A = this chain, B = another copy of it.
Amino acid sequence: MTTIRDVARAAGVSPATVSRVVNGLIGYSAETQRRVEQAIDELNYEPDTLARGLKTKQTAVIGVLAPVVSDALASDIMSGVEAAARLRGYSVMLGRTGPSSTFAASYLRTLRTYRAAGVILISAAVTADMRRALGSGIPLMSVAIRDGQRFPSLAIDDEAAAYDGTRYLISLGHRRIGLLAGDPASVLVNTVRKRGYLRAMTEAGLTPVLEHGNSLYDSAPPALARLLAQDGGLTAVFALSDEMGAAVVNELQRLGRRVPDEISVLGFDNTRTAMHVHPALSTIAQPLERMGELAVEKLLAAGEPAAGPTPRILPHRLIVRGSTAPLISSTGSIPHNKEQS
């Protein structure tokens, strides 16, 4: 490995000067710069990140923690994080927190000893424990979850999104709308989405019908069965994740119910999964990649304590595909599809 000293010798200057030109500081002549740069090229020099980090107490790494790595939602966010990070010369370090954030603190401690520039927490609430494990020097930001006002976060307004989704189904003429929620214990965003659904239903004078899955595909069929047991005449099902939504579409068809003619299905998140089913799932979109990008932008801007704990709200969007349709009601009033923001 060639060091800064090798370059200095080759260029006939001191290591200090090499460091200055490498870091674009001032204090050297144009001629010196040329010689140094030539030496760098010839020796194929690359500054050692470890030594640099040790001295400057900062490394260009951003930690990303998600409940599970191989998850469509988390993957999309990570993709945005990776893109934004690489654009700014940062690397990303990946970690899995487990469904109930079991490993989070341990990862954060590691990230601290790496002197990470910041960490992004996906779909998990920031606890005081975590904040402590990370130490005070490193900014932390949670994404795809709203965490009161205590820590910076970046998410859509899940309550409003669920409200809008429910309103959309109502506007299609549906009256008997079932909700397929996720596990409120592990993914607390479910609680607030559920609230949005309930508000829309009671406002419209409709009676809520709801069951819980765990957000994953396999949990949906049994939960759907329970939903149908409660009200066999449901004309629409609102699933709070695309995986469950996709499962509902498939299961309904297996049961011989036609989607969307007999029963509409609405998903949530707009992950790839929504496209993988036929008819394609209408869903509430979160700007996932964009959220990842924004997270690193805000994180790095947070060097200045100007950015306080400002939970930033991103817009959600209703995406209408093939799984929802107006109710063919006996009253004959048929609202039509629309894409709204």
Q: Which of A32-40, A73-81, A146-154 contacts B (4 or more CB under 8 A)?
A: A73-81
Within 69-106 of A, Cβ neighbours of B (below 8 Å) are at 69-72, 75-76, 78-79, 82-83, 86, 91-96, 103
Contacts of A49 in B (CB 8 A): 110, 113-115
Interface residues on A, range: 35 or more
A95 touches B103 (CB 8 A): no
Within 101-155 of A, Cβ neighbours of B (below 8 Å) are at 103, 109-110, 112-115, 135
CA A61 to CA B49, docked complex, whole Å = 13
Select A217's contact among B59, B70, B112, B276, beta carbons within 8 Å. Answer: B276
Counted per complex, copies of this chain come to 2
Known: A49-B113, A91-B114, A276-B273. A70 touches B61 (CB 8 A): no
Contacts of A191 in B (CB 8 A): none
Whether, in the assembled complex, A277 has its beta carbon less than 8 Å from a beta carbon of chain B, the answer is yes
Within 36-63 of A, Cβ neighbours of B (below 8 Å) are at 46-51, 53-54, 59, 61
Q: How far is the CB of A183 from chain B (nearest CB, A)?
A: 19
CA A71 to CA B79, docked complex, whole Å = 9
CA A75 to CA B48, docked complex, whole Å = 30
Whether, in the assembled complex, A19 has its beta carbon less than 8 Å from a beta carbon of chain B, the answer is no
Select A110's contact among B91, B110, B276, beta carbons within 8 Å. Answer: B91
Known: A46-B113, A47-B113, A113-B46. A275 touches B92 (CB 8 A): no
